[in-house]
């Protein structure tokens, strides 16, 4: 629920705008561009591009640098247009990036899409994996979506704008549970949904073996931790100075807000982030990262919150972890201020509380994923209600039960 969870397969893909209203004639074209996972070595390799189209007439492919196998303009009235592209040999082992774009022209509009294929190259071996080219030491490909960004000697994973994802915080994750894995789900239209390739799970409750098991399946894993509150049931609770423990969180008496301006608090939270890195997680979901807007018991300003969150983001990036924003959908511009610091956002109930403008269109324009959650059991809209709008905003939205126990998951696509 909001404030408690204050507040992700395939290379990377972007979903075009959907038709605005039922009964419109003719309908605007819609499309999804995807690239399959593939381990690309020094000798090069092949990647299959799949363009799924509705209401299209002509499709045009391009790439930078140019990739062999891309046609020019073709009819694309059929459901799927596939192209097998050849990634050229890379004898020098340098990291490379190929940007593939597609333009779908329909009778009532044009949709532009792009996806980026990153090749690690030998110079980055040992760094964070890069989609389309990475593998575990046993040869199992991982990085089935998103990209790895680099800042100097540091690199970390950034999730794709669209990929199937699961959020399970209720209990230790089981890789043999169909519910935990999100298998067998259907979209709001009743169509089968692929098994997720991104899992957001509790960083304390799940061991490194769970993370490595998900990696072996080709998935990415996000580490859920709280950064603005201390939980009595966590092993590091006593590490927080008593003077840094503030008011109990409403509805959660075992959790107390933290004085984020205390350097000792920063040190304990950084230890939590390091735990995520040690267990092999790919990114962090930092809950309670906008406590400045709450009655914490401390005078915390928005500027101080931004400094605190930015410090943690830099620390996570230095450990090779992506960093998210959790909610932050107030009308004071907090999300916009954090946009450059974070790699994605996980927001709850922005349709229910009419606060989605905090992320739209800024995050979509920046190419950053918006993982949006609604809880119908908390009075929020059902997937059939919010999904069309969510998809038009380029949000990756799912209806969950607020227990987040894996039993309810209705993705928009």
- How far is it between the farthest Cα atoms of the chain? 67
**Confidence check: pLDDT of 237 > 60:** yes
**What's the rounded mean pLDDT across residues 165-189?**
96
Q: How many CA atoms lie within 13 A of 74 on its CB side?
A: 14
* Sign of the torsion angle spanned by Cα atoms 235, 285, 163, 404: positive
The whole model's pTM is what? Answer: 0.68
**Confidence check: pLDDT of 312 > 90:** yes
Per-residue pLDDT, 60: 85
**Confidence check: pLDDT of 127 > 70:** no
**Confidence check: pLDDT of 362 > 50:** yes
Per-residue pLDDT, 396: 97
Label the pairing between strands 369-374 and 396-400. Answer: parallel
**Confidence check: pLDDT of 322 > 70:** yes
More confident residue, 118 or 157: 157
Q: How many CA atoms lie within 13 A of 313 on its CB side?
A: 21
Q: What percent of the chain has pLDDT over 90?
A: 60
Per-residue pLDDT, 17: 35
**Confidence check: pLDDT of 96 > 70:** no
**What's the rounded mean pLDDT across residues 186-205?**
95
Lowest mean pLDDT among 210-214, 260-264, 297-301, 364-368: 364-368
Q: How many CA atoms lie within 13 A of 64 on its CB side?
A: 5
Confidence of residue 398 (pLDDT cuts 50, 70, 90): very high
**Confidence check: pLDDT of 141 > 60:** no
Per-residue pLDDT, 47: 80
**What's the rounded mean pLDDT across residues 99-121?**
74
Lowest mean pLDDT among 99-108, 299-308, 325-334, 340-349: 99-108
Enumerate the domain spans of the chain: 30-145, 165-411
Confidence of residue 122 (pLDDT cuts 50, 70, 90): very low
From residue 93, how far is each of 78, 98, 412 by CA, in Å? 39, 15, 39
E strands present in 211-279: 220-226, 229-231, 245-249, 252-258
Residue 227 CA to chain centroid, in angstroms? Answer: 19
- Topology adopted by domain 30-145: Immunoglobulin-like (2.60.40)
**Confidence check: pLDDT of 165 > 50:** yes
Residue 47 CA to residue 327 CA, distance in Å, equals 36
Per-residue pLDDT, 228: 98
Residue 364 CA to residue 311 CA, distance in Å, equals 24
More confident residue, 177 or 22: 177
For the segment 63-83, what is each residue's pLDDT rounded down to a tens digit?
Answer: 767 788 787 788 887 678 888
**Confidence check: pLDDT of 385 > 70:** yes
**Confidence check: pLDDT of 4 > 50:** no
**Confidence check: pLDDT of 269 > 80:** yes
CATH of 165-411, one of 3.40.50.300, 3.50.50.60, 3.20.20.70, 3.30.565.10: 3.20.20.70
Per-residue pLDDT, 49: 82
Confidence of residue 88 (pLDDT cuts 50, 70, 90): confident
Confidence of residue 8 (pLDDT cuts 50, 70, 90): very low
């Amino acid at each position: 629920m909001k404030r408690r969870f204050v507040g992700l397969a395939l290379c990377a893909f972007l979903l075009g705008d959907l038709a605005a209203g039922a009964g419109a004639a003719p309908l605007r074209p819609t499309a999804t561009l995807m690239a399959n996972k593939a381990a690309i070595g020094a000798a090069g390799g092949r990647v299959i591009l799949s363009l799924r189209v509705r209401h299209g007439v002509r499709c045009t492919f391009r790439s930078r640098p140019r990739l062999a196998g891309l046609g020019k303009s073709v009819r694309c009235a059929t459901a799927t247009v596939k192209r097998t592209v050849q990634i050229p040999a890379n004898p020098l082992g340098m990291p490379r990036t190929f940007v593939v774009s597609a333009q779908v022209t329909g009778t009532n509009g044009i949709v532009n899409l792009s996806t980026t294929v990153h090749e690690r190259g030998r110079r980055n071996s040992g760094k964070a994996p890069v989609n389309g080219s990475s593998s575990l030491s046993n040869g199992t490909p991982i990085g089935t979506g998103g990209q790895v960004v680099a800042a100097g000697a540091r690199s970390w994973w950034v999730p794709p704008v669209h990929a199937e994802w699961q959020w399970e915080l209720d209990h230790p994750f089981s890789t043999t549970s169909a519910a935990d894995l999100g298998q067998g789900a259907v979209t709001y239209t009743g169509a089968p949904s692929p098994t997720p390739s991104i899992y957001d799970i509790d960083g304390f409750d799940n061991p490194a073996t769970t993370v490595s098991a998900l990696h072996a399946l080709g998935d990415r894993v996000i580490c859920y931790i709280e950064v603005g509150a201390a939980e009595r049931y966590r092993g590091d609770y006593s590490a927080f100075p008593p003077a840094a423990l503030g008011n109990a969180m409403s509805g959660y008496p075992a959790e107390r807000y933290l004085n984020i301006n205390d350097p000792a608090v920063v040190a304990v939270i950084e230890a939590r982030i390091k735990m995520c890195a040690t267990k092999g997680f790919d990114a962090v979901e930092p809950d309670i990262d906008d406590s400045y807007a709450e009655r914490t018991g401390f005078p915390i300003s928005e500027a101080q919150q931004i400094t605190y969150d930015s410090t943690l983001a830099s620390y996570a990036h230095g450990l090779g972890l992506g960093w998210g924003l959790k909610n932050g959908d107030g009308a004071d511009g907090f999300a916009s201020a954090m946009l450059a610091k974070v790699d994605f956002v996980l927001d709850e109930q922005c349709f229910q509380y009419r606060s989605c403008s905090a992320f739209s269109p800024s995050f979509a324009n920046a190419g950053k994923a918006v993982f949006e959650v609604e809880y119908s059991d908390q009075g929020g809209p059902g997937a059939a209600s919010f999904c069309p709008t969510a998809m038009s905003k380029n949000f990756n939205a799912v209806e969950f039960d607020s227990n987040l126990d894996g039993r309810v998951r209705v993705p928009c696509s």
